[in-house]
Amino acid sequence: MGTRSLRFREALRAAMLEEMERDDSVFLLGEEVGHYQGAYKVTEGLLEKFGPKRVIDTPIAESGFAGIAIGAAMVGLRPIVEFMTWNFSAVAFDQILNNAAKLRQMSGGQLQVPIVFRAPNGSARQVGSQHSHAMEHFYAHIPGIKCIAPATPADAYGMMKTAIRDENPVLVFESETLYSLKGDVPDDPDFTVPFGVASVAREGKDISLISWSRPVHVCLDAAAELARQGIDAEVIDLRSLRPLDEETILRSVRKTHRAVIVHEGWSYGGVGAEIADRIQRFAFDDLDAPVGRVSFLDVPMPYNAALEQHVIPNTPRVVEAARAALYAR
């Protein structure tokens, strides 16, 4: 199997394009996805290829178009909904929570909702308080939906395909700051990456850094720095938050006996808290230190560039948390 070098956005686009070619019931809708070629150019060229029936520009009415897509999915179409960013999904939250996630159960299993919601998520360089949310924490809470957050172009490609082929609602958390990241992507339209399988982004024996999406790269930077300090860190890229690859997390912690969870978004009640809980429940006797966490500081995102860097997980904070878990201050 050959590979091609693609940027993250091109990998997502290739996956959508190939799945739309494969299945006529797949269509794409969202703000600026067509004529504008995508607010972040992820959907560039798709309108020209598939026409306005299958690549649909929407007005700014997230609840309305998310609901329409869910309605279309519950009778068998397979919509891909692009939110301009996940921040704007907040006004469509009811549609995702009360309709997409619940329809199957409240119909006694009569209906299913094969739909993909995707958008950039998390911090994005000084876009301020209302445009910097890490929304996966809100959504991973909800049974009935799946949440994925790839960190590499290959995973973006393979997981987007899996998402489109899934019979359940799948939420794809991308990152604006990763869209230009280049990487090798399998040159195979049948390449898919299963959900619920984490990837070991760097093997190590001293401590487990557990992360997803953009902060995986922060963890790799931190691991390089820790290596210079004689500490061999393992980096786990979860890729998928619901389902969560508990086995890979526990296997790593049982090897290193120490863990730091690194993510964007606030720590209070978030996905990191869930992971920390599972580690203490299932690997309590293997732990040599409390599980550490590095996340957004517990404040709304400031605009100021230096303060923003202060709030989001950065390499020095991850290094410091790792050293603390190793009692190596």
Residues near other proteins (CB under 8 A):
27, 53, 56, 58-59, 61, 63-77, 91, 94-95, 98-99, 103-112, 143-146, 167-168, 195-196, 242-244
Nearer to other proteins, 128 or 194 (CB): 194
**Catalytic one among 32, 44, 131, 246?**
131
Nearer to other proteins, 4 or 165 (CB): 165
Nearer to other proteins, 76 or 300 (CB): 76
Cα–Cα distance, 169 to 140 (Å, whole number): 12
**Main-chain phi, psi angles of 232, to 5 degrees:** -100, 95
Q: For the chain, how many helices (H) and strands (E)?
A: 12, 14
Report in angstroms how near the CB of residue 243 gets to other proteins at its nearest.
4
Residue 288: DSSP 8-state: S
Nearer to other proteins, 64 or 302 (CB): 64
Residue 131 annotated as catalytic: yes
Cα–Cα distance, 159 to 163 (Å, whole number): 6
Cα–Cα distance, 64 to 32 (Å, whole number): 16
In degrees, to the nearest 5, what angle opens at C-alpha 255 toward C-alphas 253 and 258? 45
Report in angstroms how near the CB of residue 217 gets to other proteins at its nearest.
26
Residue 263 annotated as catalytic: no
Q: How many CB atoms lie within 10 A of CB 304?
A: 11
Nearer to other proteins, 2 or 109 (CB): 109
Three-class secondary structure assignment of 42-84: CCCCHHHHHCCCCEEECCCCHHHHHHHHHHHHHCCCEEEEECC
**Catalytic one among 10, 18, 19, 62?**
62
Answer for the pair 198, 211: CB distance below 8 angstroms, yes or no.
no
Report in angstroms how near the CB of residue 105 gets to other proteins at its nearest.
5
Report in angstroms how near the CB of residue 96 gets to other proteins at its nearest.
11
Nearer to other proteins, 36 or 303 (CB): 36
Report in angstroms how near the CB of residue 47 gets to other proteins at its nearest.
16
Report in angstroms how near the CB of residue 146 gets to other proteins at its nearest.
5
What DSSP assignment string belongs to 297-315?
Answer: -SSPPPSSHHHHHHHS--H
Report in angstroms how near the CB of residue 320 gets to other proteins at its nearest.
32
Nearer to other proteins, 107 or 304 (CB): 107
Tally the C-alpha atoms within 13 A of residue 192's C-alpha that lie toward its C-beta. 14
What DSSP assignment string belongs to 107-170?
Answer: TTTS-----EEEEE-S--SS--GGG---THHHHTTSTT-EEE---SHHHHHHHHHHHHH-SS-E
Catalytic machinery residues? 62, 131
